[in-house]
Structure 1
């Protein structure tokens, strides 16, 4: 069967890490995150109906990313139980983040926040991907991972969900529970979802974490470090600066009141 070049699952240009297309993709995703942050106040002022429609649209796009991927697997004749089920960590956080947008469930937010952002960031920087731009799989891969980050930051910056240190623990629990369940599926199916039975064939951060099964322990430590850093950079430091700024404003107001 002849496939269009941008859909061909067999004869496509290979992905090259940190190539021009890879770097442009990273820049575009970073720009989208920045725009979401800059327009967060405007988005908060949307009506309840508009806000709900926004969340539904984002969730639909995320679910659509997974649906079109599954359709492409079938179209290309490469769908299989061993490689095509949405059992990778980013596939799980993609679907759960979409569910979070629809339900606004706080425990789900705590569970997937850091796992989703850290996992998507790692995937964007070191993709386990075999297709270069402008293949469908390249576009779908970066769109799906960008949407995970944007959805979780949307719930944080626009819907104003706030994590605590318990959210770091919640994400660690989620990752480990998911890993146990996926490992059982790996054994039953002879698969390697979440790379729990061996490393991926393409270069990845796992190459720096030792041989199997040592790298799994390394992943645990790396996850804890990344989740903690994300909490400190995205929440702890900004919250401290905000409190400091509010104290200065209060003192300044008190001084002006006394003068007046």
Structure 2
């Protein structure tokens, strides 16, 4: 595939990683449910090491072998940021981190899976990094829910929303200083995304803000309807 061609929505390069991840994730979760708590924690830790490790290796590679650009290459897009530090969650099993990450991953990362923004396709390092991080984050949060039995509360919705506002404000300051566009706060991505339906800047930012809290509540609704909430701390 030419290095200038983006990964297209619905192409084999788009769908194959998703199909493989669904199969792998299903097997991992089914297997882990039958194991001791110690083994479950070990597998959880290894998933975090895999995702964060690929992020560290990717950025070391970028720094060492490419022209690393502070305006575009820092791991400050939400999924990249989560990918870099997800190992902190998997090792610590912090319930507070679960509360924050659950909504970010389900709403942000899944959108990235449905409409991938990958400038350089298969078999580039960026291609593999993108899918390992995005699909790995989803697997980790599903593992936390189904195997380790983490469940959010209504307060989790508020916590996650407020921390996201702080993160966005910090990114706005960084974007201003670097003249960058991290998390697409200054303009929409080139590839297709849900932002295309929300108008031009700054209207799509305002509309996203208005929709965020209801979207978080929709994510929380199944936990409220199908089982008692439990605060899992370890």
Give the paired residue count: 228
Matched, 1:15 2:7: yes
Aligned runs of 1:28-67 on 2, under 5 Å? 28-39=20-31, 41-42=33-34, 45-48=35-38, 50-67=39-56
Tell me how far apart the structure 1 counterparts of residues 208 and 22 of structure 2 sit (CA, whole Å): 25
User: What root-mean-square deviation, in Å, do the aligned CA atoms of Structure 1 and Structure 2 show?
Assistant: 2.2
Kindly provide the CA deviation profile for residues 175-220 of structure 1, in whole angstroms up to 9, marking residues without a partner as x: 1111001111111111110111111222221111111011012222
Shift of 1:231: 1.9
1:223 to 1:94, Cα distance in 2 relative to 1, 3 A: farther
Tell me how far apart the structure 1 counterparts of residues 92 and 45 of structure 2 sit (CA, whole Å): 10
- Higher relative contact order, structure no. (Cα contacts within 8 Å, ≥ 6 residues apart): 2
Tell me how far apart the structure 2 counterparts of residues 91 and 136 of structure 1 sit (CA, whole Å): 14
TM-score, normalising length: structure 1: 0.79
Matched, 1:238 2:226: yes
Decide which moves more: 31-40 or 18-27. Answer: 31-40
Q: Which of the two has higher C-alpha Rg?
A: 1
Q: Which of 53, 58, 61 does residue 69 from structure 1 map onto?
A: 58
Shift of 1:36: 4.5
Tell me how far apart the structure 1 counterparts of residues 79 and 155 of structure 2 sit (CA, whole Å): 21
Tell me how far apart the structure 2 counterparts of residues 131 and 239 of structure 1 sit (CA, whole Å): 43
Alignment check: 8 A CA contact 1:155 1:161 kept = yes
Q: Indicate the SS of the match to 1:66.
A: helix
Shift of 1:12: 4.3
Shift of 1:130: 1.2
Shift of 1:39: 3.9
Decide which moves more: 19-28 or 84-93. Answer: 19-28
